[in-house]
Amino acid sequence: MTVSVVLFTSDLRLHDHPPLRAASAASDEIVPLFVLDRRVEEAGFAVPNRRAFLADCLRDLDAGLRERGGRLVVRTGDVSEEVRRVAAGTGARDVHMSGGVSAYAHAREERLRAELDAQGVTLHVHDAVVTAVAPGTVRPTGSGSDHFAVFTPYFRRWSQERLRDPLAPPRSVRVPDTARSGGLPSRAGVPGVSPALAEGGEKAGRALFAAWRRSGLGSYEDMHDDLAGDATSRLSPHLHFGTVSPVELVARARGAGGAGAEAFVRQVCWRDFHHQVLAARPAASHDNYRTQHDDWRDEEEAGDEIEAWRQGRTGYPVVDAAMRQLRHEGWMHNRGRLLVASFLAKTLYVDWRIGARHFLDLLVDGDIANNQLNWQWVAGTGTDSRPNRVLNPVRQGHRYDPDGTYVRRWVPELAGVEGGAVHEPWKLPEPERARLDYPAPLIGLADSLARFKQARDLR
């Protein structure tokens, strides 16, 4: 009887899962294993919203395996230690897993390989599971660089890559009786979760994509920036936890065709782009990607302003609306992310790492590659080819929330303000303005622009 372990990480699905497929083909029995990783908890990344979503994902994965005659084995502790124990306890000779991109994922892989080798067990790492195209597959020609630093040429080359056909889920799974599991976590046991957090799990992810493909994909190109329209796929937490496969999303979107599908595939490519940058430059998760010497303000210098930003009380309605959506849902519209990040980094001139940390504390899709590198993009320390662009929150509000619906939805203090004044309540006549329980702008935009320019000129 041959046994293989399949170690699930950021790929919590049964459809299109190359490690599961390879293990099932090569052995009689498999151990589908997930380790609740103590190191992730100690590093402060196991925040309530992601823990709750993860609990949904694990329950759903277990249910899917049970439908096929198997079950999920859940352990808690150090990943390599637990995998080693499970392999020893079940007599497994092979362990299959998906390749990750962060410094942590690389270190985990190395530790695992070393410890399993010592036990005579082989580790197989499968590519293009977490991303559509594996980092490093597409490289710039002639420049000698190991990754693309500019999106458009990357997108061109990425688009020419032939992706594998999405794999069907296994029909049946046999798990050895000797594989002992701890209990499954549950969302109900996680305190401090955002009230409107989305549901996790492969079933929920597939249903979301199927519905959105029918009703949202066609208009994606026109609607994706409309804050109130909320017309993006909301698949980001599912992509982060791997409950949907990026390869399958791209294949199905391309199959549907049209301008909406093309625009959507381009966004999925942005995700791969940031992953290949992080894989090549793991330190970009905390250090500036480009060496710049910005003299950012920190908690000590700008503590009150940072807190007002976190609480959605900056006095700029569209910024506050987006920050409150983040707290309520554990998710924020991309246009909102762009403008609140620009506000923190370029209007308040606060270190992007402070904003990125707050996002990671709340975002259900909080992801080292996508979050840190998007923050760097907005802060002008990353891959943006126009690092000095500043988004004006008033103009952004008028443009992407033209009738103020998004602001009125999230900032109830302004629900009764009519017309375009909802984006500039400080212009309302007294005593109407004074009656609103809403703060005056934290900083004048002209003052902040002057501060930003001066700081950049001095650099």
Which residues lie near ligand FAD (CB under 6 A)? 224, 232-236, 239-240, 264, 267-268, 270-271, 274, 334, 337-338, 341, 359, 363, 365-367, 370-371, 374-375, 378
Closer to ligand FAD by Cβ: residue 5 or 149: 149
Ramachandran class of 194: left when φ > 0, alpha when ψ lies in -120 to 50, beta otherwise: beta
Closer to ligand FAD by Cβ: residue 375 or 438: 375
CB 48, min distance to ligand FAD, A = 16
Closer to ligand FAD by Cβ: residue 23 or 250: 250
Closer to ligand FAD by Cβ: residue 280 or 428: 280
What are the residue ranges of helices labelled H in 6-143?
Answer: 18-26, 38-42, 48-67, 79-90, 103-118
CB 312, min distance to ligand FAD, A = 16
> Of 191, 205, 254, which Cα lies nearest the Cα of 52?
191
φ and ψ at residue 394, rounded to 5 degrees = -75, -45
* Burial class (CB within 10 angstroms; exposed 0-12, middle 13-18, buried 19+) of 175: buried
> Of 8, 16, 18, which Cα lies nearest the Cα of 248?
16
CB 316, min distance to ligand FAD, A = 16
φ and ψ at residue 181, rounded to 5 degrees = -120, 150
Closer to ligand FAD by Cβ: residue 4 or 383: 383
CB 154, min distance to ligand FAD, A = 12
> Of 40, 46, 72, 49, which Cα lies nearest the Cα of 59?
72
Task: Indicate the SS3 state at residue 8.
Answer: strand
Closer to ligand FAD by Cβ: residue 34 or 352: 352
CB 295, min distance to ligand FAD, A = 21
Q: Is the preceding omega at residue 431 within 30 degrees of 0, hence cis?
A: yes
Closer to ligand FAD by Cβ: residue 23 or 319: 319
**Radius of gyration of the CA atoms of the chain, in A:** 23
CB 273, min distance to ligand FAD, A = 7
CB 234, min distance to ligand FAD, A = 4
How far is 225 from 229, CA to CA, in rounded Å?
Answer: 8
CB 374, min distance to ligand FAD, A = 3
Cβ atoms 135, 273 nearer than 8 A: no
Closer to ligand FAD by Cβ: residue 438 or 452: 452
How far is 184 from 36, CA to CA, in rounded Å?
Answer: 10
Number of H helices, E strands in the chain: 20, 5
